[in-house]
Amino acid sequence: MEKNCLAVDIGASSGRLILGSLKNGKLNLEEIHRFENCIVEKNGHFCWDIDGLFNEIKVGIKKCYRKGIKPVSIGIDTWAVDFVLLDDNDQLLTDAVAYRDPRTDGIMEEVTDLFLKERLYLETGIQFQKFNTIYQLYALKKKNPEVLKKAKTFLMIPDYLHYLLTGKKANEYTNATTTQLINAFTRKWDKEIICKLGLNMDMFQEIKMPKQTLGTLREELVEEFGFDMEVILPATHDTGSAVISVPELEDTIYLSSGTWSLIGVENHFPICVTKALDYNFTNEGGMDFQFRFLKNIMGLWMIQEVRRNYNNGYSFVELADLSRQHPEFVSTVNVDDPRFLKPDNMIEEIRKYCSETNQRIPEHPGEIAKCVFDSLAIGYKKAVSEIEDIFEKEFSKINVIGGGSQNELLNRLISDVTKKEVYAGPVEATAIGNLVAQFIALGEIEDINNARRIIKHSFEVKKYV
């Protein structure tokens, strides 16, 4: 009997439950449920509605059952770095504060006064972003030490959702690396860093690897859903799952395009050389002990926010079409600048930046959109040349994966600006990578190489030259 696995993939703007099945050497996907996700204000912080998200997962599982499908396994991936803390009764001690919350303003500098930046980088291989878990925990320690004192369990967002499904606690490796508290070489919690920060080592859980089975559903959920299934850990960091589904890595730079743009290459070892630190590249842990050497670029978040600031009056396609009407407009912004992480108003922030840098100020929606797309393309070009500088070689292809790979305008622009062949797809890269981990664990796919061959045969990839 053909086995169905369920991937739960939740990004910063939407979540989906996607069913995967294998037939005649191809992977088939069926979207079961899709829902919105957004940042909400709670107790003076920007937070995720974690209970609402778990509820949507339950709705999706029930939809499966109503369609007569009982998946054999499920796995959840989300964005990285965010976490919750539980008390000794396993109750939530914290809200699921979102990484764009300003609680970490200035904290990275305080932590890097305690540690040499070079040392932190050499041990963890992780980029310096003010929202990393290490800075969120340190902010909590400074501002709410009593909360940290009571904390018995540290779980990242997918770990917590997996805990709600199974009652089992673990920290999944790929996502845990984004805390900047995992030693890149031992692949374990770095006790020295944790203790020096004055954090309680005991709240960190056992590290489990993708493809490990966490458990089965809690009894009450089995009753509620009408069936049981295994919970198999995927790469719970969405970018980790996404990169698994790049069909061809040879001579290729991948660009995982969604709320963030993650641009880089896959490696067998972390690269912690000074140049990589200066360019602020990260080495995030991947499935099968691979490392994602990549850079975060502000991504489609900028256009999502622009759209929101226009009260959703234009669709993304309309904004792209409008931008084409202003070929003469050439002002650009630095997409690495943290001022674009969570400005009060993205349109105003872009205008302010242009004015401060003596460029023409974008007026119309088309000019704003053109400024965003051009700036992203320039950001990608810069990252590509940094990668080529570090590897001392040229790459001829860029493979854009994820939802953003559907943006034809941006794909063409990337090809024009970088002068490389651009391949676009698969669109559902993250869910595919999530499913692949489950199918390998179940013995339905041999290994990741085999999986990449299956992906190549199963999904359309468009070429732009």
81 is a contact residue toward ligand LFR (CB under 6 A) = yes
Residue choice 99, 138, 204, 293 for contact with ligand LFR (CB under 6 A):
99
Q: Is 264 annotated as a binding residue?
A: no
Per-residue mark of binding to ligand LFR, 8-47 (x: CB under 6 A): ---x------------------------------------
132 versus 375: smaller Cβ distance to ligand LFR: 132
If we measure between CA atoms, which residue out of 273, 332, 342 comes closest to residue 301?
A: 342
236 versus 375: smaller Cβ distance to ligand LFR: 236
Q: How far does CA 249 lie from the centroid of its chain? A: 19
Cis peptide before 426 (omega within 30 of 0): yes
| Shortest distance in whole angstroms from residue 264 CB to ligand LFR | 10
Q: Is 15 annotated as a binding residue?
A: yes
21 versus 178: smaller Cβ distance to ligand LFR: 178
332 is a contact residue toward ligand LFR (CB under 6 A) = no
163 is a contact residue toward ligand LFR (CB under 6 A) = no
Backbone angles phi, psi at 268, to 5 degrees: -85, -10
Which CB contacts under 8 angstroms, 24+ apart, belong to 214-221?
A: 214/162, 214/166, 214/168, 214/170, 215/166, 215/167, 215/168, 216/166, 217/165, 217/166, 218/165, 218/166, 218/167, 221/58, 221/165
458 is a contact residue toward ligand LFR (CB under 6 A) = no
**Strand, coil or helix: 259:** coil
In this structure, the strands spanning 213-216 and 73-78 are unpaired
379 is a contact residue toward ligand LFR (CB under 6 A) = no
217 versus 262: smaller Cβ distance to ligand LFR: 262
Q: Is 326 annotated as a binding residue?
A: no
Q: Is 49 annotated as a binding residue?
A: no
Write the single-letter amino acid at 141: K
Backbone angles phi, psi at 232, to 5 degrees: -110, 130
Q: Is 215 annotated as a binding residue?
A: no
| Shortest distance in whole angstroms from residue 199 CB to ligand LFR | 20
The window from 75-83, 133-141, 321-329, 440-448 that contacts ligand LFR (CB under 6 A) reads 75-83
Q: Is 237 annotated as a binding residue?
A: yes
Per-residue mark of binding to ligand LFR, 249-278 (x: CB under 6 A): ---------xxx-x----------------
Half-sphere exposure of 205 (CA within 13 A, CB side): 24
The window from 76-84, 107-115, 418-426, 453-461 that contacts ligand LFR (CB under 6 A) reads 76-84
106: left (phi over 0), alpha (psi -120 to 50) or beta: left
Q: Note the maximum CA span of the chain.
A: 65
User: Per CB under 6 A, which of residues 121..150 are in contact with ligand LFR?
Assistant: none
Q: Is 438 annotated as a binding residue?
A: no
Q: Is 80 annotated as a binding residue?
A: yes
Q: Is 307 annotated as a binding residue?
A: no
User: Per CB under 6 A, which of residues 286..305 are in contact with ligand LFR?
Assistant: 296
239 is a contact residue toward ligand LFR (CB under 6 A) = yes
Backbone angles phi, psi at 90, to 5 degrees: 60, 30
407 secondary structure, DSSP code = -
Residues 6+ apart with CB under 8 A from 33: 16, 17, 56, 59, 60, 63
Q: How many residues bind ligand LFR (CB under 6 A)?
A: 13
Sole residue written with tokens 């996502």:
175
341 versus 442: smaller Cβ distance to ligand LFR: 341
Total residue count of the chain as it appears in this document: 465
Q: Is 205 annotated as a binding residue?
A: no
79 is a contact residue toward ligand LFR (CB under 6 A) = yes
Give the Cα-Cα-Cα angle 86, 87, 88 (nearest 5 degrees).
125
If we measure between CA atoms, which residue out of 5, 175, 17, 145 comes closest to residue 85?
A: 145
256 versus 309: smaller Cβ distance to ligand LFR: 256
10 versus 271: smaller Cβ distance to ligand LFR: 10
80 is a contact residue toward ligand LFR (CB under 6 A) = yes
Using N-to-C axis directions, what is the helix angle for 365-391 and 316-324, rounded to 10°?
Answer: 90
* Residue 82, CA distances (Å) to 157, 178, 295 in order: 6, 9, 19
The window from 201-209, 232-240, 359-367, 454-462 that contacts ligand LFR (CB under 6 A) reads 232-240
- 125/63 Cα distance (integer angstroms): 41
Question: Which residues have a catalytic role annotated?
Answer: 238
Indicate the annotated binding residues for ATP.
Answer: 12-16, 259, 304, 403
Residues that bind ligand LFR (CB under 6 A): 11, 79-81, 99, 237-239, 258-260, 262, 296
Task: Write out the binding residues for substrate.
Answer: 80, 237-239, 296
Instruction: Indicate the annotated binding residues.
Output: 12-16, 80, 237-239, 259, 296, 304, 403
